[in-house]
Amino acid sequence: MIELGRWVDLGGLEPRARWSARLLAFAVLVLAAVVVLAGRLFQLQVEDGRHLAALAQLSRVHKVVLHAQRGIIYDRHGQQLVINRPAWTLEIVPYMLPVAEGQRSAELSWVAHVAGKSPADLQKQVDKSDGLTPIVVQRDLPDQQAEVLTERLPQLPGISLQQVPVRNYLDSTLLSHVLGYTGPIDGEQYAKLASQGYQPDESLGRAGVEQSLETVLRGKDGWANTVFDAQGQPVKVLKSQPAVNGDNVYLSLDLGLEKASDQYLQAEIKKVKVAAGAVVVADPRDGEILALDSYPGYDTNLFTKGISNAQYKQLLNDPGHPLYDHAVQGEYPPGSTFKMITASAGLQEGVITAGSSLNCPLGMTFGGWYYRNWAGYDMGFMNVDYAIAVSCDTFFYQVANMLGPDRLAKYASAYGYGTAPGIELPNVSAGLAPTPAWKSSICSGPPTSWQCTWSLGETITYGIGQSDILTTPLIQSMYISAIANGGDLLRPTLVHEVDTASGTAVSTAKADVVRHVPVSPDNLNTVRQGMHECMDNPHGTGYWFRLAKFLYDGGCKTGTAEFGSGANQPTHAWFTFFSPFKNPQVVIIVLVEGGGEGDQVAEPVALQIAQYYYAHQAQIQGGVVK
């Protein structure tokens, strides 16, 4: 029949299924496994489903900051003074770095090498971080390095290059004090400003207009909820709010006039071999500053990148103090330019009149001390306007003597001495109008000593702008503008117009009267006449203007202010000027620090500036060209 072990072909007959116990057990195991797996899936997808979906969303979607562009600063005609240059910042995102130790350290050391840092430092930074916040490795990468990195970026997980706008100042040295610079926010500032939305690695204005108009220029960052893939590449934007760019500021400065002023000032400073000086050109009708120059300046672009210690030391040690704004911060004795205040006070207080005639000898004695005139000869009797024109010291000694320090201080304060002008710059100096009360309040020493009691000599020299009086070129411009425009002390302003990023005007400059000087129109006219004579009278200290064939009329006053002590004292050279005489449009203040005689050193500079102004008058007075 059929042998053992032989195959028998059933020819298509189907055997019956014989489920052994073990086979059944296997089948049950299969079913049990399915149930267990399904149960766990239920747990994950139904119970924890929403939570896990939210986690998924969290890891995928991040809020990306859309940086607002900082507002652009222009001069009054729309010439751009600053650009937002795109710069590359190298960042590491720690949680995206490769996990394998060897790959991780290889990547970090390569990045460190490219960025010029030590790998050990970088590793420390990464270890210290919380894993999620990006670490800035280097700002403002040179373009070449940025290119190299961009090429290799896909093979470098965790490394990213961010494009950030960086301020680049055109004419950085010329406008260094006006514009200032932006720099990274420091710890304590961040603590105060974080509530306003500042990021810890943001830049903000650190000096000049950048600092004082920070809120105007800054704009508001936007955000975008972006979906990222596992490589950190953005895939899609879900919701976003665009950034609002900062407002653009049109300064009242005329760039041409500023350049010219700086040029002339620089030439004169080098000629007399001193270190520093300042020029202020203002419009006495509305207080707009047409030129504000302090020499020497410094390269603000160095600060935006991060200045080296060596360079900073160099700036600090420069005898001209480039970091110091001489026009706005430098406090100097006004010298003879103060005489218009003495005259105003004398006229207004009635101790002299327009017609009063006082002697101008070569010297006078007060309280036992002999005070000289600058001229080595008697000038005879004169009235106040001639005294201003020829800058007679002894005339004004007498007037000061009659007035006393308190009244002089009152008028000095009225003309702006002792109050910081409200110009849009930080750290503006206030000058000083001293009084006996002031002196005794600040003195160090016994109350009866010479340090604490006011002496007659101080009153005498008060009249000619010496002793403890201090002014700044900016305050001088306010004071001369007040005389020029008939008595309105105007707030000086650097801002001509502010526009939104799209071009609509937010605010335009208007004359802002701080006070009306308490001098009657007639008295003021007398003082103005004195300044007019300064230029037109052959004996006037400003007559050089006529000799140089200056065609326009106006008023001027020289100043040669002594400072320091000892024989052969150096003097600051001042020159003040306004023009035309009726309805003045321009006020020019020139200061050459330690330069010598006002009429010899400061006057030529003012003459050149005035000639430039008139040559380009229509242009300068013209409005914004957008």
Partner 1 sequence: MAIRRRMARFWGRLVNFVRLPWYRRLSQSQLLLTGALLGIGLATVYSAIASDLRKQLISATLGLLVYVAAAFLDPKRLLRATTGLYIACLLLLLFVRVHGHSALGSQRWISLGGFQVEPSEISKLMLVIVLAKHLGQPGRVGLRRVVTACALAAPPMLLILAQPDLGTAIVFGCVLGGLLFVAGAPRLQLAALGAAAVAAIPMAPHFLHAYQRQRLEIFLDPSKDPLGAGYNLLQARIAIGSGGVFGAGWLHGLQGSLGYVPERATDFVFAVFAEQFGLIGCIVLLTLYALLLLSLLRSAAIAPDPFTKLLVCGVALMIFAQVVENIGMNIGILPITGIPLPFVSYGGSALVTQLAGLGLVQGLMLRRRLVVHSALRSDEYLLKLTA
- Environment class of residue 493 by beta-carbon count within 10 Å: exposed (0-12), middle (13-18) or buried (19+)? buried
Q: Write down the least CB distance from residue 110 to partner 1, Å.
A: 21
| Options 26, 237, 267, 372; binder of partner 1; rule CB under 8 A | 26
Q: Measured between alpha carbons, how far is residue 248 from residues 77, 130, 448, 626 in Å?
A: 13, 38, 57, 12
Q: Write down the least CB distance from residue 96 to partner 1, Å.
A: 9
Q: Write down the least CB distance from residue 25 to partner 1, Å.
A: 8
Choose between 35 and 120: whose C-beta lies nearer to partner 1. Answer: 35
Buried b (16+ CB within 10 A) or exposed e, 260-291: bbbbbbbebbeeeebbbbbbbbbbbbbbbbbb
The sign of the dihedral angle between the CA atoms of 581, 471, 345, 602 is negative
Q: Write down the least CB distance from residue 11 to partner 1, Å.
A: 7
| Options 1, 547, 551, 567; binder of partner 1; rule CB under 8 A | 1
Residue range at the interface with partner 1 (CB under 8 A); choices 33-41, 81-89, 140-148, 399-407:
33-41
CA distance 137 to 156: 15
Choose between 8 and 547: whose C-beta lies nearer to partner 1. Answer: 8
Residue range at the interface with partner 1 (CB under 8 A); choices 57-65, 76-84, 272-280, 562-570:
57-65
Choose between 29 and 191: whose C-beta lies nearer to partner 1. Answer: 29
- Asked if 369 touches partner 1 (CB under 8 A), the answer is no
DSSP codes, 584-609: --EEEEEEEET---IIIIIHHHHHHH
CA distance 578 to 530: 12
CA distance 602 to 593: 10
CA distance 529 to 626: 41
Residue range at the interface with partner 1 (CB under 8 A); choices 25-33, 147-155, 207-215, 463-471:
25-33
Q: Write down the least CB distance from residue 92 to partner 1, Å.
A: 14
- Asked if 506 touches partner 1 (CB under 8 A), the answer is no
Length of the chain: 626
Residue range at the interface with partner 1 (CB under 8 A); choices 28-36, 294-302, 405-413, 508-516:
28-36
Choose between 11 and 187: whose C-beta lies nearer to partner 1. Answer: 11
| Cα angle 430, 440, 396; round to 5 | 65
Binding mask 94-133 toward partner 1 (x if CB under 8 A, else -) reads -x---x-------------------------------x--
Would you give the DSSP letter of residue 220? Answer: B
Which segments within 325-384 are labelled E, that is strand?
358-360, 363-366, 369-372, 380-382
Does the N-terminal peptide bond of residue 436 adopt cis geometry, omega within 30 degrees of 0? no
Binding mask 232-271 toward partner 1 (x if CB under 8 A, else -) reads ---x------------------------------------
Choose between 194 and 227: whose C-beta lies nearer to partner 1. Answer: 227
Cβ within 8 Å of residue 24, ≥6 positions away? none
Residue range at the interface with partner 1 (CB under 8 A); choices 22-30, 250-258, 431-439, 607-615:
22-30
The sign of the dihedral angle between the CA atoms of 134, 137, 141, 144 is negative
Q: Write down the least CB distance from residue 128 to partner 1, Å.
A: 15
Residue range at the interface with partner 1 (CB under 8 A); choices 29-37, 381-389, 542-550, 613-621:
29-37
Cβ within 8 Å of residue 541, ≥6 positions away? 389, 390, 391, 534, 556, 557, 558, 598, 599, 603
Choose between 45 and 314: whose C-beta lies nearer to partner 1. Answer: 45
CA distance 299 to 484: 35
Residue range at the interface with partner 1 (CB under 8 A); choices 8-16, 381-389, 509-517, 542-550:
8-16
- Environment class of residue 258 by beta-carbon count within 10 Å: exposed (0-12), middle (13-18) or buried (19+)? buried
Give the other-Cβ count within 10 Å of 98's Cβ. Answer: 15
Q: Write down the least CB distance from residue 125 to partner 1, Å.
A: 17
- Asked if 143 touches partner 1 (CB under 8 A), the answer is no
- Asked if 41 touches partner 1 (CB under 8 A), the answer is yes
Contact, 595 vs 573, CB < 8 A?
A: yes
Residue range at the interface with partner 1 (CB under 8 A); choices 3-11, 343-351, 406-414, 539-547:
3-11
Residues near partner 1 (CB under 8 A) are 1-23, 25-27, 29-31, 33-34, 36-38, 40-42, 44-46, 48-53, 55-57, 59-60, 95, 99, 131, 227-231, 235
